[in-house]
Amino acid sequence: MEFYYYTLFAGIIAIIYALFAAYITLKKDEGNKKMQEIASAIKSGSAAYLNRQLKTIAIFAVILAILFLFLPNGYEITIAFLTGAIASYLTAYLGMNVAVRANVRTAKIAEKGTNAAFKTAVIGGSVTGFAAVGFGLIGLSLLIMYLTISKVEILIGFGFGASLVSLFARVGGGIYTKAADVGADLVGKTELNLPEDDPRNPAVIADNVGDNVGDCAGMSADVFESYAVTLVAALLIAYGISHASVINFAYPLYVASIGVISSLLALLFIDVKGENATLALYKGIGSAVIIAAILDFALTWYLSLPLTYFYSVFSGLVLAILLFWITDYYTGRGKKAVVKVANAAKGGGGTDVIMGLAVGLRTTWFPAVVIAIAIFVSYISAGLYGIGIAAAGMLSLTATILTIDSFGPITDNAGGIAEMAGLQEHIRKVTDKLDAIGNTTKATTKGFAIGGAALSATALFVAFAEAVGLSSIDALNSIVTIGIFIGAMMPFIFSSFLMEAVGKAANLMVEEVRRQVKTIKGLLQGKAKPDYARAVDIATVNALKALVIPELIAILTPIVIGLILGKEALGGLLVGMIPASFMLALFMANSGATMDNAKKYIEEGHFGGKGSDAHKAAVIGDTVGDPLKDTAGPALNSMIKVVSTISILLAPVFMAYTLL
Amino acid sequence: MEFYYYTLFAGIIAIIYALFAAYITLKKDEGNKKMQEIASAIKSGSAAYLNRQLKTIAIFAVILAILFLFLPNGYEITIAFLTGAIASYLTAYLGMNVAVRANVRTAKIAEKGTNAAFKTAVIGGSVTGFAAVGFGLIGLSLLIMYLTISKVEILIGFGFGASLVSLFARVGGGIYTKAADVGADLVGKTELNLPEDDPRNPAVIADNVGDNVGDCAGMSADVFESYAVTLVAALLIAYGISHASVINFAYPLYVASIGVISSLLALLFIDVKGENATLALYKGIGSAVIIAAILDFALTWYLSLPLTYFYSVFSGLVLAILLFWITDYYTGRGKKAVVKVANAAKGGGGTDVIMGLAVGLRTTWFPAVVIAIAIFVSYISAGLYGIGIAAAGMLSLTATILTIDSFGPITDNAGGIAEMAGLQEHIRKVTDKLDAIGNTTKATTKGFAIGGAALSATALFVAFAEAVGLSSIDALNSIVTIGIFIGAMMPFIFSSFLMEAVGKAANLMVEEVRRQVKTIKGLLQGKAKPDYARAVDIATVNALKALVIPELIAILTPIVIGLILGKEALGGLLVGMIPASFMLALFMANSGATMDNAKKYIEEGHFGGKGSDAHKAAVIGDTVGDPLKDTAGPALNSMIKVVSTISILLAPVFMAYTLL
């Protein structure tokens, strides 16, 4: 039997599980009328955003699809491209639609205690995780089945489809979620002294919608993209190195298929013993890694492949664990660095932010060192191919990581619904606790997403060099140097637009909230309902408006550089961009997470607790950190992959036409 | 006559002018007893810091000098190293010692109007500028005279000596100045509502000392370093390409000598017509560039060298102007981006900082593009040698740039002295205006310093490749990839320590100020004098304490990578580090400058003016921006040059011994 039947089968299993998990979730009790009402507002806001975002993506996708028809093998590439885009959107759609139903069910079942609520949120989250790997494997397997292996370069279309959707979902979702969050907090908490998720805050529904479109849909598109492009990169490298060897071609897909099994088994280990739910989630990841390592070893042995292949895959798995650990070490609740930032808040908002940025900058060193080691180990084990399969090994954890990540927005929403619906104290305690766990795991999975993006971009870089036929990219060549400088600049200018968009949209949100408080009588007394839809609309419109420029920067820069300066300069661009973007993303994401948790640390009663001057200072730090960690930082992941995939996709063009 | 007599002569002219300018400055009236008292406190604080810093440097320098003796040509290298270090320190010493005397004289003469005060500050500042180029040219000429051209690699010792001093001066001075500034502001302005430079603030002298040790001594060491290493890099490249050609060797030194003449002539154009003093300073730079371009053209023609050499030099000159312009465009007073940040301050400290960071990120694109173009133009004009002479062209403006830069701390101090001595309103108006101009020019000269550092580091990178005998540095080689990742990480981890040091030291300063306000009776009523010396001591001790780790990171990382992974990895490290550091430095320096000017814009009466909520928010932004723009950002300049020079210096070691 051809190898792609096996991988198709693995993908189908993943989808069956995802549907099963969705079924279980939907069967659960969705609580009283008030809860359903709130949940329905979140649900329809999220769906409305995803639909409108789809329209914007569709415009870009259609234009690109038409242009791709002019490429060699244009017809096949266009099909692959649309398949990738659809697979990515299906993942986000299915995952998020279950998440916005799992939230209220988690809130409801929380009356039965932490354990039950925890499980509901995990199962709800697992839909996203398994949908991602399922659609990824099915899409790739079908393409390989119906196209032909000798036209492997077509597969990059699939990767680019995933990339395009991811770029939109990350950028749009990121701006949406933080415009709503920052806007809601600035007036709600600071001016009106309302608690988080207070139903009197007009932006509260938008805030909860943001969790879904940003942390759930955006993150799933990002990791799906890493998954897809990593596999494509590995296939391209395999093909470039040994045209004839089907086994080298199949191996990374097998590793990914093993990921389905190990992630399914790992679900059994994600359970709460006593009260430590964080530990439960980490057990999940740990077991997924161990099971995957054992099965990957067995696979390599069974196929009689060199054991060095396994070493490469293993280095990817270890990298994932280490990135998880270091993020937690620096940004986890109550960790030394977090307390340091909280302590600095005593000096005011300025010193809080200074120290928060210092911690974020600090967090780059360990990931940089371990990713360098992983690249080196995989390279000396199996050459450039080793880098591809190391990335495949790391990304084979996708289902588990996304499960744990989607747990975040579900519990966050559950907490919000419990608060807004005025559920009893003991229930809200449960949802608050889960929400807190979700916050930590969201931060740590972000470390994985950033590392995964960097490693898969490195694999894509190798694939790019093969695609354009470069056997070396020499930094002493000044045309390459130009590319390096432009590339290193890209993450900075790209995130500039995102930061600005959040700042602007948050300000509009602030004005709208202030307006509603002023004009709707009885709002603050809880006698009149705010106009939630208006706030949802502001976040939606502004996120979509702010999408365009960053998208164009990411898509057009490599095209312009490639057409004017040629393939060497474009190679230089990737060389400059990938590491700079990796560091900037780590800096941003971890600064934000640390300042967030420093605020929470103070809220737990340290340094004066809630309402103290230190708390006010920490709230400022949290506000600054919000777009850093949830908008700009994560969007860089998508940017580097889009730039890398389009560079490969247009390789034939750059080889044929160049100005210089 | 040998060429080095000409360049020696140019250096001597520069020093004669510097001494003459110092003499003119010292002859001026130093005001009443109270002014002298204040100035004397600043003077002794500054001198004390520089002396104590010297001791720390001496320890490092002696250890390194001994180790260098073991290198091939160790004896000569050690001499060159010590010459470079001494020349750099002499520049900082002479420049700063005149600056701390020019400040009070500027304050005194301000009673005669803007014009007189402006001239006094410019002449005082020009001492630093001409001392730098003078000591640079004399040092290099003497070394070439007494050593031999065939041992040109020895000259890198001179560059490293300058680098070492610069690293200490930038890091130490940067931490000092911002610990004092932030500390003074946090309690003084925010808690006690004291105006800037109020004599009742115990940290006010430390704040003024900081301007001198940071903006004057630190900046002069930084630009001196760029000047020195650029010339050395150009000489190394020239030698590597054409051993025998004395003219290629002399050319960059001639270009630098022309810089002395053009900078001297440019002084004539720096005068105030009407009231526009900013314009006067910019006229100075513009005229320096035009004169230099004409003379460089004449030189190239006279020496019958290819005109392409001139194109390279010219691209360096144009780059300097463009970097000046773009910094002003984004961060200048009342500019669009600044107003945007000020407007965001209405939403609170959080949105102010978000927008400030967005602007800082945005500022990277233009410098990245123009430096890429400059590198490319100079390369296609004259090959790798072109990059070296382009850098020499840019840095030939050093005397003018440092003159304009040192104008900043002098007028800043003059404003402080006028305020503390309670001079009349109309005098303080003059000093305030000059102070404001100094703030803008300080920001724009920083753009030059960052660009100069990046370009000279690029030239050093080329020289490094020659020194270790690499004809290509291939980013597809995974050992190079490791280096790239580590290199891109270095600026992040390095600045992390600086940000943290400022945060910590500022907190200690805050505590000390609070303590004095509490324990010294009658302090706030102006009846008792604060203990200024204690505050000065805190800044001094903490700056020196925080020096060590960042120094070790900068010096040891390239050594460790070179010894363990070898020269290719070290080349990769430079490839990753230089552009990432360039972008990060621009982002940091410009974010800070924009938030600073946004605060000032509000203080001018916009968005509610002083004391409004927007103003409080902008003060927070300014606090965050302080260490970004004056500590971490500029220190990156020194870091990349230290890393580059030590990599070249130890090239023979890396070629002989490597673990892998």
Partner-chain residue, chosen from A379, A384, A476, that has the shortest CB–CB distance to B473: A476
Query: What pLDDT shows up at residue B239?
Result: 84
Q: Nearest chain B residue to A504 by CA: give it.
A: B344
- Inspect the interface and report whether the beta carbons of A580 and B579 lie closer than 8 Å: yes
Q: Nearest chain A residue to B486 by CA: give it.
A: A368
Burial A613-637 (b: 16+ CB within 10 A, else e): ebbbbbbbbbbbbbbbbbbbbbbbb
In chain A, residues with a C-beta closer than 8 Å to the C-beta of B470 are 476
Span A53-60, average pLDDT: 92
In chain B, residues with a C-beta closer than 8 Å to the C-beta of A375 are 478, 481-482, 485
State the nearest Cα–Cα gap between A397 and chain B, in angstroms.
Answer: 24
Considering chain B, what percentage of its residues have pLDDT values greater than 90?
Answer: 79
Q: What are phi and psi of A472, to 5 degrees?
A: -155, 150
Own/partner pairs for B138-141, CB < 8 Å, 24+ apart?
A: B138/B8, B138/B11, B138/B12, B138/B15, B138/B87, B139/B11, B139/B83, B139/B84, B139/B87, B139/B228, B140/B7, B140/B228, B140/B231, B140/B232, B140/B253, B141/B4, B141/B5, B141/B7, B141/B8, B141/B11, B141/B253
Burial A208-244 (b: 16+ CB within 10 A, else e): bbbbbbbbbbbbbbbbbbbbbbbbbbbbbbbbbbeee
In chain A, residues with a C-beta closer than 8 Å to the C-beta of B492 are 361-362, 364-365, 583, 586-587
In chain B, residues with a C-beta closer than 8 Å to the C-beta of A237 are none
Partner-chain residue, chosen from A362, A369, A503, that has the shortest CB–CB distance to B344: A503
Per-residue model confidence as pLDDT tens digits over B341-361: 999 999 899 999 999 999 999
State the nearest Cα–Cα gap between A412 and chain B, in angstroms.
Answer: 23
Helix and strand counts by DSSP (H, E) for chain A = 21, 0
Query: What pLDDT shows up at residue B153?
Result: 82
Tell me the pLDDT of chain B averaged across its residues. 92
Residue A244 has pLDDT above 60, yes or no: no
Residue A474's beta-bridge partner residues?
Answer: B474
Partner-chain residue, chosen from B471, B477, B580, that has the shortest CB–CB distance to A579: B580
State the nearest Cα–Cα gap between B365 and chain A, in angstroms.
Answer: 6
Query: Which pLDDT band, with edges at 50, 70 and 90, does A332 fall under?
Result: confident
Query: What pLDDT shows up at residue B149?
Result: 62
Query: What pLDDT shows up at residue A2?
Result: 85
Q: What are phi and psi of A277, to 5 degrees?
A: -75, -30
Query: Which pLDDT band, with edges at 50, 70 and 90, does A246 fall under?
Result: confident
- Inspect the interface and report whether the beta carbons of B583 and A354 lie closer than 8 Å: no
Residue A660 has pLDDT above 70, yes or no: no
Query: Which pLDDT band, with edges at 50, 70 and 90, does B651 fall under?
Result: very high
Tell me the pLDDT of chain A averaged across its residues. 92
Query: Which pLDDT band, with edges at 50, 70 and 90, does B501 fall under?
Result: very high
State the nearest Cα–Cα gap between A395 and chain B, in angstroms.
Answer: 20
State the nearest Cα–Cα gap between B564 and chain A, in angstroms.
Answer: 13
Distances (CA, A) of A237 to A160, A260, A454, A617, B550: 16, 23, 17, 50, 40
The rounded Cα B111 to chain-centroid distance in angstroms is 31
> How many Cβ contacts (< 8 angstroms) between chains A and B?
273
Per-residue model confidence as pLDDT tens digits over A383-423: 989 999 999 999 999 999 999 999 999 999 999 999 999 99
Query: Which pLDDT band, with edges at 50, 70 and 90, does B148 fall under?
Result: low
d(CA A641, CA A648): 11
Give me the residue label for tokens 């296609």: B380
Query: Which pLDDT band, with edges at 50, 70 and 90, does B333 fall under?
Result: confident
State the nearest Cα–Cα gap between B136 and chain A, in angstroms.
Answer: 28
d(CA B497, CA B239): 38
- Closest Cα to residue A401, out of A122, A17, A117? A122
State the nearest Cα–Cα gap between B188 and chain A, in angstroms.
Answer: 12
Span A508-529, average pLDDT: 90
Please tell me the pTM assigned to this model: 0.95
Q: Is B562 within 8 Å of B658 (Cβ atoms)?
A: yes
Considering chain A, what percentage of its residues have pLDDT values greater than 70?
Answer: 98
Residue B268 has pLDDT above 60, yes or no: yes
Query: What pLDDT shows up at residue A271?
Result: 79
Query: What pLDDT shows up at residue B150?
Result: 66
Which residues, at least 6 apart from A226, have a Cβ–Cβ distance to it below 8 Å?
A: A395, A398, A449, A452, A453, A456, A637, A641
Partner-chain residue, chosen from A365, A375, A489, that has the shortest CB–CB distance to B365: A489
State the nearest Cα–Cα gap between A120 and chain B, in angstroms.
Answer: 36
Query: Which pLDDT band, with edges at 50, 70 and 90, does A103 fall under?
Result: very high
Span B85-94, average pLDDT: 94
State the nearest Cα–Cα gap between B161 and chain A, in angstroms.
Answer: 26
d(CA A172, CA A93): 15
Query: Which pLDDT band, with edges at 50, 70 and 90, does B287 fall under?
Result: very high
Q: Which residue, among A187, A352, A353, A371, would best test binding to B if mutated, counting the most B CBs under 10 Å from its CB? A: A353
Span A432-461, average pLDDT: 90
Q: Nearest chain B residue to A360 by CA: give it.
A: B496
Per-residue model confidence as pLDDT tens digits over B103-122: 999 999 999 999 999 999 99
d(CA A599, CA A318): 32
Residue B30 has pLDDT above 70, yes or no: yes
Span A461-474, average pLDDT: 93
Query: What pLDDT shows up at residue A438?
Result: 86
Per-residue model confidence as pLDDT tens digits over A597-647: 999 999 999 999 988 999 999 999 999 999 999 999 999 999 999 999 999
Query: Which pLDDT band, with edges at 50, 70 and 90, does A481 fall under?
Result: very high
In chain A, residues with a C-beta closer than 8 Å to the C-beta of B488 are 368, 488, 579-580, 582-583
Per-residue model confidence as pLDDT tens digits over B640-650: 999 999 999 99
Span B520-544, average pLDDT: 90
Per-residue model confidence as pLDDT tens digits over A87-101: 999 999 999 999 999
Other beta carbons less than 10 A from residue B609's beta carbon = 12
Query: What pLDDT shows up at residue A456?
Result: 92
- Inspect the interface and report whether the beta carbons of A186 and B510 lie closer than 8 Å: no
ipTM of the complex: 0.95
In chain A, residues with a C-beta closer than 8 Å to the C-beta of B627 are 354
Distances (CA, A) of A460 to A61, A309, A444, A550, B450: 21, 18, 24, 21, 32
Which residues, at least 6 apart from B575, have a Cβ–Cβ distance to it below 8 Å?
A: A475, A484, A575, B461, B473, B475, B480, B483, B484, B487
In chain A, residues with a C-beta closer than 8 Å to the C-beta of B583 are 488-489, 492, 580
Q: Nearest chain A residue to B356 by CA: give it.
A: A500
- Inspect the interface and report whether the beta carbons of A350 and B470 lie closer than 8 Å: no
Which residues, at least 6 apart from B186, have a Cβ–Cβ distance to it below 8 Å?
A: A347, A348, A350, A351, B506, B509, B510, B623
- Inspect the interface and report whether the beta carbons of B344 and A502 lie closer than 8 Å: no
Per-residue model confidence as pLDDT tens digits over A570-606: 999 999 999 999 999 999 999 999 999 999 999 999 9
The rounded Cα B624 to chain-centroid distance in angstroms is 20
- Inspect the interface and report whether the beta carbons of A481 and B458 lie closer than 8 Å: yes
* Angle in degrees, CA A600, A603, A605, rounded to 5: 130
Query: Which pLDDT band, with edges at 50, 70 and 90, does B294 fall under?
Result: very high
Query: Which pLDDT band, with edges at 50, 70 and 90, does A247 fall under?
Result: confident
In chain B, residues with a C-beta closer than 8 Å to the C-beta of A503 are 344, 347, 351, 354-355, 358
Query: What pLDDT shows up at residue B400?
Result: 95
Distances (CA, A) of A529 to A198, A201, A517: 12, 9, 10
- Inspect the interface and report whether the beta carbons of A487 and B579 lie closer than 8 Å: yes
Per-residue model confidence as pLDDT tens digits over A339-373: 999 999 998 999 999 999 999 999 999 999 999 99
In chain B, residues with a C-beta closer than 8 Å to the C-beta of A497 are 358, 362
Would you call B203 helix, strand, or coil by DSSP? coil
Which residues, at least 6 apart from B324, have a Cβ–Cβ distance to it below 8 Å?
A: B282, B285, B444, B445, B447, B448
Q: Is A337 within 8 Å of A330 (Cβ atoms)?
A: yes
Which of A119-123, A145-149, A385-389 is predicted least confidently?
Answer: A145-149
Which of A193-202, B288-297, B475-484 is predicted least confidently?
Answer: A193-202
- Inspect the interface and report whether the beta carbons of B583 and A492 lie closer than 8 Å: yes
- Inspect the interface and report whether the beta carbons of A500 and B362 lie closer than 8 Å: yes
Q: Which residue, among A338, A366, A380, A485, would best test binding to B if mutated, counting the most B CBs under 10 Å from its CB? A: A485
State the nearest Cα–Cα gap between A514 and chain B, in angstroms.
Answer: 12
Query: What pLDDT shows up at residue A245?
Result: 80
In chain A, residues with a C-beta closer than 8 Å to the C-beta of B360 are 496
HSE, CB side, 13 Å, CA atoms: give it for residue B485.
26
Per-residue model confidence as pLDDT tens digits over B184-209: 888 887 778 888 888 899 999 999 99
Partner-chain residue, chosen from B510, B576, B623, that has the shortest CB–CB distance to A579: B576
Partner-chain residue, chosen from B182, B354, B372, that has the shortest CB–CB distance to A499: B354
Q: Is residue B555 within a helix (H) or strand (E), and if so which, with residue range?
A: helix B532-565
- Inspect the interface and report whether the beta carbons of A486 and B376 lie closer than 8 Å: no
State the nearest Cα–Cα gap between A61 and chain B, in angstroms.
Answer: 27
Query: What pLDDT shows up at residue A78?
Result: 94
Query: What pLDDT shows up at residue B453?
Result: 93
In chain A, residues with a C-beta closer than 8 Å to the C-beta of B375 are 478, 481-482, 485
- Inspect the interface and report whether the beta carbons of A361 and B495 lie closer than 8 Å: yes
Q: Is A166 within 8 Å of A486 (Cβ atoms)?
A: no
- Inspect the interface and report whether the beta carbons of A485 and B355 lie closer than 8 Å: no
State the nearest Cα–Cα gap between A526 and chain B, in angstroms.
Answer: 25
Residue A14 has pLDDT above 90, yes or no: yes
